[in-house]
Amino acid sequence: MRQIIREAYAKINLGLDVVGRREDGYHLVRMIMQEIGVHDTLTVTAAGVPEGAPLIRLKTDSTEIPIGPDNLVSHAAYIMCEAFDIRDEITIDLQKRIPVAAGLAGGSTDAAAVFMALRDLYAPSVTDGQLQELALPLGADIPYCIAGGTRLSEGIGEKLIRLPDAPQCCLVLVKPPVAVNTGMVYRTLDSLAGYPHPDIDGLIDRIAAGDLTGMADKCGNVLELVTGQLVPVIGQIEQFFMDRGAVCSKMSGSGPSVFAIYQEEEKAAQALREFKETADFSDCYGALTQFVYR
């Protein structure tokens, strides 16, 4: 029996722009992706079985996600078993900490962790780039979750360019108890006659300069034009933290999660305490975290 433990980190979008759509319906994006400290933990155990047929078992402490073959984690394991002729019993124990359906790539980062864990156990010579190609059909965010760090993501999410590390800061991460249909958000955006685009190139420049305040000024998410109208509490949460000293507060992905950037941990922690004590937000998830670098 062999075992490996991997942390699967959430991501936020410091910038997210939609620049077109392919004929197959996939949207073309330009995004600045950033790994953050909120993470799930996956323990992957491999044991030989007499019949020599792969068997995937998924266990989790979460009641919010399916544990059958439709889970991205199980899909990732089956893809690896087929690609590398793995015929063992694979048990995956998922400790879920990233909020579900939150715009934080929780499912994608868990799948990425399985791709990397099984690569390390069975095919250590496979590069991250090769693993990303294998993972892309399962989800456009998974290649980024394999790469991690601070990256420009283009195409449908598969074109990744490493950027300098984003400036150090403290983050408050919040998720209101609502769900957002990502497909509907993109379809609604498509129906708009036009919309302002965030300055992704300017954001890259500010990150490269190590300018936290300038980076915060350039953060933007075009999908908030849609999700913000559907879920007004997103704007209310952003304003709450801006009123308490955040240099930036924006939605991540298609929502509904919100992150607030602070220069000082003490201010961030105080703002989070006040947030949790506010009756209107008492049912929201909230956490203090930071950027993760690779």
pLDDT in tens, 37-94: 999 999 999 997 766 666 899 999 999 888 887 899 999 999 999 999 998 999 999 9
**Is the same domain home to 12 and 156?**
yes
CATH number at residue 94: 3.30.230.10
**Is the same domain home to 213 and 239?**
yes
pLDDT digits (tens, 9 = 90+) for 161-208: 999 999 999 999 999 999 999 999 999 999 998 899 999 999 999 999
What pLDDT is attached to residue 126? 97
CA distance 122 to 84: 8
Examine the residue annotation and report whether 141 is marked as an active-site residue of this protein: yes
**Is the same domain home to 225 and 261?**
yes
**Is the same domain home to 40 and 144?**
yes
Domain encompassing residue 212: 170-289
CA distance 130 to 206: 31
What pLDDT is attached to residue 53? 65
pLDDT digits (tens, 9 = 90+) for 220-271: 999 999 999 999 999 999 999 999 999 999 999 999 999 999 999 999 999 9
- Considering the candidates 11, 96, 218, 250, report the single residue annotated as catalytic: 11
What pLDDT is attached to residue 145? 98
Query: Whole-number mean pLDDT of the chain?
Result: 95
**Is the same domain home to 179 and 155?**
no
What pLDDT is attached to residue 52? 63
Q: What percent of the chain has pLDDT over 90?
A: 90
**pTM, full prediction:** 0.95
- Helices and strands in the chain: count of H runs, count of E runs: 10, 11
CA distance 203 to 167: 12
pLDDT digits (tens, 9 = 90+) for 126-173: 999 999 999 999 999 999 999 999 999 999 988 999 999 999 999 999
Domain assignment present for residue 294? The answer is no
**Is the same domain home to 150 and 273?**
no
CA geometry: angle 280, 285, 289, nearest 5 deg: 125
CATH number at residue 186: 3.30.70.890
What pLDDT is attached to residue 49? 73
- Considering the candidates 17, 88, 110, 141, report the single residue annotated as catalytic: 141
- Displacement of CA 269 from its chain's centroid (Å): 22
Listed in sequence order, the residues at least 6 apart from 281 whose beta carbon sits closer than 8 Å to its beta carbon are 174, 176, 237, 240, 275
Domain count, the chain: 2
**Is the same domain home to 211 and 255?**
yes
CA distances from 196 to 15, 115, 222, 289 (A): 13, 37, 7, 30
What pLDDT is attached to residue 1? 86
Domain assignment present for residue 228? The answer is yes
Residue 25: which pLDDT band, with cuts at 50, 70 and 90?
confident
Examine the residue annotation and report whether 59 is marked as an active-site residue of this protein: no
Domain assignment present for residue 282? The answer is yes
